[in-house]
Structure 1
Amino acid sequence: MMHDQLKFKKLGIDTQQEHVVYMRSDCHICKSEGFSALTRIKVSNNDKSIVASLNVIESELLSPGEISLSKGAREALQVPEEAYLTLSHIPPVESMKFVRSKIYGHTLTFNALQEIMVDIVQGNYSNVDIAAFITGCAGKMSEEEVTGLTRAMVEVGERLDWGIPVVADKHCVGGLPGNRTTPIVVSIVAACGLTIPKTSSRAITSPAGTADTMETITRVNLSLEEMKQVVKKEGGCFAWGGSVKLSPADDLLIRVERALDIDSEGQLIASVLSKKVSAGATHVVIDIPVGETAKIRSRKTAETLKERLEKVAATVGLRLKVVLTDGTQPVGRGIGPALEAMDVLAVLKNETSAPQDLKERAILLAGDLLELAGEVPNGQGVVVAKEVLETGKAFEKFKAICLAQGGFTLPTFAAFSYQVKAEKAGTVNKIDNRRLAKVAKLAGAPDDPAAGVLFDAPLGKKVVVDEVLYTIFAESEGELSYALEYIANEKDIITIF
């Protein structure tokens, strides 16, 4: 063993994507190198290296000559038991000067943003550093900065080229419970013969993302090569963007944004468009739900976002159509991965109980995408999309894609549930989307796939006393209790007049 090495011991600690290294405070390296808690250090295993945050142990959990790593760090370095790891200081991260500059209100150039993205992807930023960058950009970002950030995020990852002139894609900016139109749109568009390699994020601040929902039905952690094979065979896919690493910086930013509960406009635009460019898309439809308690709260804000999306898209070579939709209430009944998946399947199977609002919105967006891509004449998109859905062609394509990705399973309900009932008779007049989504998150969504809310009180519905407004599902009694404690103090989630 060399003086800068320690023997690896597995402790089995999971810190998600944050790389953490564990050492004794009295080990010879901590003493000689002056390492202290939270120091960022370089850890190497032969030719593989990562940057990790140090956690200091003052117990017999490790011996002075041993070191341990968090699960993610161990997997990144591919460390076997009792391997010897090499430790060293890392030089100051130069791009942090640009982060500090942004915090103080200065504009960042493309080169500065590129340096930041490179350091983030290489693991040189801790979660605290990434949070500082996100917070610094949470205010106003210029159009040039957003374009620069988009380009920088594309350049630090893979970029696909499908070798064809039209590659379709669809995205929703989120902020509206349910609204799981993407799997339906992909199925319709792929059934029409277009190529639509859909990569989706997991939830940032919502109870479910498309990747979370689809994971209750099929495998979404596809490698880049697996994704290409599925698309080649079926024309479309439902892949988690983090597994194919098309815009790896975005996935790292999203993880911290979720913890901060921040999803700023500039980063939203860069996140969406970088994923589309990286996936090789040429024609994209974007859904922006607008409502008082949606992510985008006013028509004016939506129009501004629409304009900025279109301008940045043009600079990075995308043909884009932005659709402003109703964001005053949830779409469909399910809020949470498995419950939303049930809605998707009901629509695709043309079940009589399927939520019609989800069906109609999916048909609208699929029709717009078919027209944008030149597959059908303008004005005929909705007609064609509806026919493909109602004849069962979309469901057949959906199943084929799922099977090509590794399987097709049916989502299930969580073990524990509670019905929230109307305390008075009247008409549903208003729904607080944000607080309803929070109920689903407190119940465990999206980390517990079957957790969430089954909603049954759309605007305009007449209800009687004790009629069920929504049902909370949780995978443990404790999480169900969290949600119930919250709603006990929140009387106006659903307003009845």
Structure 2
Amino acid sequence: MNREADRTGLRVIRAGIDTYQQPVVYMHRDCEVCRSEGFAALTRVSMRIDHRELIATLNVVVSDLLPADAVALSEAAWSAIQPEPDAIATFYHPEPPRSAGALRAKVFGQRLEEADYLALMQDTVHNRLSDIELAAFVTACAGERLDHGETTALTRAMVAVGDTLDWGEGPVLDKHCVGGLPGNRTTPIIVAIVASLGYRIPKTSSRAITSPAGTADTMEVMAPVELDLDAMRYVVEREGGCVVWGGNVRLSPADDVLIRVERPLDFDSDGQLVASILSKKVAAGSNHVLIDMPVGPTAKVRSAAAADSLTGRLAGTAAALGLRVAVNRSDGRQPVGYGIGPALEAADVLSVLRGDPDAPADLRERSIALAGDLLDLVPGNVIGRGRGLAEQSLASGQALAKFMAICDAQGGFTEPKFARHRADVLAPRNGTVMAIDNRRLSKVAKLAGAPVSPAAGLVSRWRIGDRISAGEPMFTVHAQSKGQLEYALDYTQACPTIFDLREDPT
């Protein structure tokens, strides 16, 4: 008997629903396939169209929005399987994921081996694990539940299931920031400086996970970032560097899936953080990497002890993978730059590269310092000389010219555009800024619409130690709609301690 011929097929239509990279299919509850196969809401289903197959999560429609003889595909599912017009899909119960035993063992606190992590990452990239199962894995690895050996095994597994680049002999440089600090958009400046001095720096960057902007979001305001591997290679071979979105080049696709799951959970572990960072560096072909680690009470790394632990894990895993890594601990107590949000951070980047007198001095200084430290990593370079080279590249306009050339190679430069609606948040009294809550300041920018609305966010020039007079703007909120502006302003009223002001003595 030909069971394939006996299966009922469903017409494929496009749902037009964004499920954030998770393939989802929609069937009516009276659908013959649903009833005969025993499918229910959140069932994992295997969908086949011709010789293409995709595992997706089922959502059940109970209204008349969807005919019973059709299946609707989310944007992620549609993109993954790319059905032809009038396509017919058949459905099956997928085989249990091969890594199910390893996942269960990790949930119950057992230590996994390298083969276990490889199976888990293979099932992750082939969509054999549901988001619920992946959330269980992320949670089981949180805190200190990954030792050094497991961190290395997870990193190697992430590299193994994606593509890797080989740039040949010689140093290939990279820089990464651990994150947790608003603004701090040093990467485009560092790439421009390093590439202008003749070094290769193929930078793949992330979009925002829980922040108002990722490097890819900010760079996309100025140039295309969704390049494929061939286009990325062309840019680097032509200009020496690039700043592209890592999610489009599949250099560590398992990490992209885990990031999707971590996003609503709003946490990760040191082990997963290290695996995420270093898997992308190995896959991108980098061999000399500088890690910027802001440390502060409202940054991602909150204490010297936490920084010591993370630095040790980074160093141990990097050594096992043959990477030369240096960690630069920086001030994580307050934002860097004026803008928070993609377009506003892009404006800061350009003002530093253009040498504007009003450019944020802290962003310029941090970019020079980090670029100098990265250049000092290169074998044969004189330690301490890198900073001078970086400063000269900026001052001469060499870095700006290289940045514009990189933008041109990636598809063309665009000047940042700014939001239509703005409002100042005023200081309630005279005082000196004693502390700034980075997390709450970032939340204001997100409530204003960043990064979904690239022009949204906020601008603040105050720093710890500055004196503010009552009625002066502490920061200015930017939004594309009045509703988003009001939403952000309402939050500032509910959280008046974003800026900790010490009242002046009377």
TM-score normalised by the chain length of structure 2: 0.96
In structure 1, the residue corresponding to 2:56 is in which secondary structure? strand
Question: What is the aligned partner in structure 1 of residue 365 from structure 2?
Answer: 360
For the 8 Å contact 2:98–2:123, the answer to whether it is kept is: no
1:258 aligns with 2:266: no
What do the CA deviations read for 1:137-168 (whole angstroms, capped 9, x no partner)? 11211000100000000000001111122100
1:403 to 405, 408, 417: 408
What do the CA deviations read for 1:112-137 (whole angstroms, capped 9, x no partner)? 11111000100112221211111111
For residues 304 and 398 of structure 1, what CA distance do their matches in structure 2 show? 35
Cα RMSD after superposing both structures: 1.2
Superposed displacement of residue 19, structure 1: 0.8
In structure 2, the residue corresponding to 1:339 is in which secondary structure? helix
Residue type of the alignment partner of 1:185: I
1:222 aligns with 2:222: no
1:163 aligns with 2:133: no
1:186 aligns with 2:191: yes
2:154 to 149, 158, 177: 149
Residue type of the alignment partner of 1:490: C
1:272 aligns with 2:311: no
Give the ranges of 4+ consecutive aligned residues of structure 1 lying more than 6 Å apart after TM superposition: none
1:8 to 6, 12, 22: 12
2:465 to 452, 457, 460: 460
For the 8 Å contact 1:201–1:240, the answer to whether it is kept is: yes
TM-score normalised by the chain length of structure 1: 0.98
2:115 to 111, 114, 122: 111
For residues 108 and 138 of structure 1, what CA distance do their matches in structure 2 show? 14
For the 8 Å contact 2:339–2:458, the answer to whether it is kept is: yes
2:69 to 40, 49, 65: 65
Superposed displacement of residue 464, structure 1: 1.1
For residues 410 and 71 of structure 1, what CA distance do their matches in structure 2 show? 30
For residues 142 and 309 of structure 2, what CA distance do their matches in structure 1 show? 16
Superposed displacement of residue 12, structure 1: 2.0
Question: What is the aligned partner in structure 2 of residue 379 from structure 1?
Answer: 384
2:31 to 5, 27, 34: 27
For the 8 Å contact 1:205–1:262, the answer to whether it is kept is: no
Residue type of the alignment partner of 1:181: T
Superposed displacement of residue 84, structure 1: 0.6
For residues 55 and 207 of structure 2, what CA distance do their matches in structure 1 show? 25
For the 8 Å contact 2:271–2:313, the answer to whether it is kept is: no
For residues 290 and 14 of structure 1, what CA distance do their matches in structure 2 show? 36
Question: What is the aligned partner in structure 2 of residue 89 from structure 1?
Answer: 93
For residues 321 and 212 of structure 1, what CA distance do their matches in structure 2 show? 26
Superposed displacement of residue 206, structure 1: 1.2
> How many matched pairs?
497
2:41 to 37, 41, 54: 37
For the 8 Å contact 2:118–2:157, the answer to whether it is kept is: yes
For the 8 Å contact 2:171–2:288, the answer to whether it is kept is: yes
For residues 314 and 156 of structure 2, what CA distance do their matches in structure 1 show? 14
Percent identity at matched positions?
A: 53
For residues 4 and 111 of structure 1, what CA distance do their matches in structure 2 show? 38
For residues 434 and 63 of structure 1, what CA distance do their matches in structure 2 show? 46
Question: What is the aligned partner in structure 2 of residue 207 from structure 1?
Answer: 212
For the 8 Å contact 1:20–1:69, the answer to whether it is kept is: yes
Question: What is the aligned partner in structure 2 of residue 332 from structure 1?
Answer: 337
Superposed displacement of residue 375, structure 1: 6.3
Residue type of the alignment partner of 2:366: R
Question: What is the aligned partner in structure 2 of residue 469 from structure 1?
Answer: 474
Gaps of 5+ in 1: none
Question: What is the aligned partner in structure 2 of residue 494 from structure 1?
Answer: 499
Superposed displacement of residue 322, structure 1: 0.5
Question: What is the aligned partner in structure 2 of residue 240 from structure 1?
Answer: 245
For residues 169 and 241 of structure 2, what CA distance do their matches in structure 1 show? 14
For residues 233 and 76 of structure 2, what CA distance do their matches in structure 1 show? 26
Gaps of 5+ in 2: none
What do the CA deviations read for 1:345-404 (whole angstroms, capped 9, x no partner)? 000000001001000100011001111013631111111110011100000000000000
For residues 280 and 17 of structure 1, what CA distance do their matches in structure 2 show? 26
